[in-house]
Structure 1
Amino acid sequence: MRMVIFGLTVTSSWGNGHATLWRGLIRAMAGLGWSITFFERNTPYYAGTRDLDQLDGGSIVLYPDWQDIQHVAEQAMNVADVVIVTSYCPDAVSASRLAHQACRGLKVFYDLDTPVTLARIEQGEPPAYFGPEGLRDFDLVLSYTGGTAIDALKSMLGARRVMPLYGHVDPERHRPAPPRPEFAGDLSYLGTYAADRQAGVERLLVSPAARLPDRRFIIGGAQYPQEFPWSDNIFFVRHLPPADHPAFFSSSRLTLNVTREAMAERGWCPSGRLFEAAACGAAMVSDTWPGLEAFFRPGEEIVVANSTDDVVAALDLSDAELDAIRRRARERVLDEHTSARRAKEFDRILSDALHGSTLGEPWKEAV
């Protein structure tokens, strides 16, 4: 079976959550017999921060602009069983329209940013990765977000068949690692700067750091502005490649997840960082959002914190309590949220759609 993907990036994990997800999923899908080609526009931003040259389980086509690659893309679509276009693909509209003309197989749109997509439409600013036709011409739409977002994609964008395909982690890439002194801390946070996450970061990390000056806090990520409210006990590690994530997660007593505003409001949109941290054996503390309990049991597999007081209380948990939380979280992720598990769901969804079957709900089978 041949799959062609037109996405944002798979070669650079800098400032985006797409690349790591695709790497794990493509590797697992290849193990199920899929032949996969990923088309990526060679933008200067990602070219300068590339951390992958060869795709495990697939091939990469880097191109300078759409006109240069259109003929090659059309040839690939002609023989593909499945063509996938994703959110934030810089040539999503052109790739979608060509797929509807050239692909004789299944035409799929995968929105990896559903809450952002829906929020922008509600604000009257439709994303550039859709044309005026929305999603009505796709055979299948996949959404990184479940819950009410599924119906919203139908009502707002005309999608006919929508299924959730949640995040996941490749446990061969994310697993417990020896701690490293430069990443050591009482509370760590790994994430690209986002304005709509800043209030949460200040409430759940900056304020606890001010209250606990003898504790060590560490932030890893990219695009943080100079005016960020740093303090003497908050340490910064500029963007970390995926290879360093396990050591980062394994070096602190607790690691923090802060959900972007649109994701928190919609719910049912687990950050890939949650699965990665749990697979690395980290004890996690997170803000709450609708559907969280379907992925991790609060108080048993994850600590829920919505205030500075909650984080301070979490930092006071004993080593034995945190060890129990991290052990249960890792067991949950290895059972339900690996790339291999998600690839099987993906394969089943595609098989059902290709054969015209009524699409089932894989998530109901997964919990």
Structure 2
Amino acid sequence: MKIAFYGSSLVSAYWNGAATYYRGLLRALAAKGYDITFYEPDVYDRQKNRDIDPPEWCKVVVYDGTIDALKAVTAEAAAADVVVKASGVGFEDDFLLEDLLRHASADALKIFWDVDAPATLAEVRAAPDHPLRAALQQLDMVLTYGGGDPVVDAYRFIGARDCIPIYNALDPDTHHPVPADRRFGADLGFLGNRLPDREARVEHFFLEPAGRLPDQTFLLGGSGWQDKPMSGNVKYTGHVSTRDHNAFNVTPKAVLNISRASMAENGFSPATRVFEAAGAGGCLITDYWEGIELFLKPDEEVLVARDGQDVADILADLSDERADMIGQRALQRVLSEHTYAHRAQTVDTLFRHHAAKLEAAE
């Protein structure tokens, strides 16, 4: 089957948190025999900040940020068996979806793949005439990379025929144990860009515990934090390239996951970093969100904090030996249940079920 996938970027993770998800899932689908073309716009300096070359398992088409260029690539959807429009492409998203539905063949499986369902649903709720509402009538399904029943129910309520979560996962070829790197030495590390929907939670779960534990060292990575007030025991390292994520996750005694507020409220939304840290064998402390036990077992494979005081208490009592044990258990769990090969099997079943229905109807 041919897949035409229209997303933000496959070759650049620069201000593009979905890159890891796209890479892991599409690579696993390619291994199942799918012929995939990924279309991405040249916007937000992503092409100037590529962190991988176009892969052999997927053709990458980069188009200029113009309407004419967009029209040229949407026309190519006509030759695909599966047409995917992801959320947050970053250039004329509404027009892109409309034009893809116009060009896609009648028999093609047409999918809206939402990589930030809480944000999308909030936008749609605020606009009764939002273009996605009408488009849902022409789409076969909505796939999301997070969200349990609240997201599924919300999508069905606004008109989706079906909504199925395809959760983040681990790509063991890219995220795996590596030797420690002294650049990232700390008691607790946190990696994440400064975003409005996350900043208050970073203050609460990371910066406040740092202030309570002056004898421990804290490492902050990600873009945008350079002017943020923080205690002297916090080392800010700036943007961390994806090639260094494994070392960042495995070197500190523990690493912290902080969900964006909207993700935490919806639950069932494990961030990419959850699986990256587990895949490296790092000891993960995460803020609480409903459904975490479906992915990692609290107190044995992950440590869960409901507030900043919990983070401080966990860290104060965490021995190196226990941190290592939790990291190793998390690694074994994600390898056995939560790789992109597992997710691709679910997606493959969905695609083939649709193809079988078409054959039966002929």
Establish whether TM, by shorter chain, passes 0.5.
yes
Quick check: 1:296 aligned with 2:296?
Answer: yes
Aligned pair 1:43/2:43, yes or no? yes
The CA deviation at 1:52 is 2.2
Q: Secondary structure at the match of 1:11?
A: coil
Q: Corresponding residue for 2:167?
A: 166
Q: Does 1:331 align with 2:332?
A: yes
The percentage of counterpart residues that share the same residue type is 37
Tell me how far apart the structure 2 counterparts of residues 92 and 229 of structure 1 sit (CA, whole Å).
36
Say whether 1:115 aligns with 2:121: no
Mapped to 2, the partners of 1:127 and 1:39 lie a distance apart of 27
Match of 1:82 in 2: 82
| Aligned partner of residue 45 in structure 1, secondary structure | coil
Quote the Cα distance in structure 2 between the aligned partners of 1:279 and 1:291: 19
Deviations 1:68-115 (A, max 9, x none): 2423431x2122110000101223323322332322211111001001
Q: How has the CA–CA distance of structure 1 residues 323 and 93 changed in structure 2, closer, same or farther, with 3 Å as cutoff?
A: same
8 Å contact kept, 1:120–1:126: no
For 1:210, give the aligned amino acid: G
Residue 167 (structure 2) pairs with residue 175 (structure 1):
no
> Does the 8 Å contact 2:201/2:261 carry over to 1?
no
CA distance in 1, matches of 2:74, 2:119: 28
TM superposition shift of 1:126: 7.7
Q: CA RMSD in A?
A: 1.8
Aligned to 1:138: 139
Unaligned stretches of 5+ residues in structure 2: none
Cα displacement string for residues 45-75 of structure 1 (whole angstroms, at most 9, x for unaligned residues): 312322123124101111112312423431x
Structure 1 residues 254 and 127: CA distance shift in structure 2, 3 A: farther
8 Å CA contact retained: 2:189, 2:252: yes
- 11-20 vs 250-259, which moves further: 11-20
Contact 1:305 1:311 survives alignment (8 Å): yes
1:215-240 deviations in Å (ceiling 9; x for gaps):
110011113362x1222111112222
Aligned residue type for 1:275 = F
3-state SS of paired residue (1:4) = strand
Quickly say closer, same or farther: Cα 1:243–1:73, change in 2 above 3 A: same
**Structure 1 residue 134 displacement after superposition:** 4.2
- Residues 116-143 of structure 1, C-alpha deviations (whole Å, 9 max, x = no match): 1122334x25898x44514221011101
Q: 1:97 to 1:354 in 2, by over 3 A?
A: farther
* Alpha carbons 1:117, 1:126 under 8 Å: kept: no
Opposite residue 242 of structure 2, the aligned amino acid is P
Taking structure 1 as the reference length, the TM-score comes to 0.91
Aligned-partner residue type, residue 119 of structure 2: V
Residue of structure 1 in register with 2:68 after alignment: 67
What residue in structure 2 maps to residue 224 of structure 1? 225
Question: Per-residue deviation at 1:346?
Answer: 1.1
- Partner in structure 1 of residue 156 of structure 2: 154
Q: For residue 192 of structure 1, what is the aligned residue in structure 2?
A: 193
Contact 2:11 2:52 in 1 (8 A): yes
Q: Is the 8 A contact 1:275 1:333 kept in 2?
A: yes
Q: CA deviation at 1:21?
A: 1.0
Inter-CA distance 225–182: structure 2 relative to 1 (3 Å threshold): closer
Q: Is contact 1:263–1:269 with CA below 8 Å preserved after alignment?
A: yes
TM-score (norm 2): 0.92
1-structure distance, mates of 2:201, 2:129:
25
Change (3 A) 1:95 1:307: closer
Kindly tell me the number of residue pairs found equivalent between the two proteins. Answer: 352
CA distance in 2, matches of 1:353, 1:237: 47
Cα distance between partner residues in 2 of 1:162 and 1:184? 42
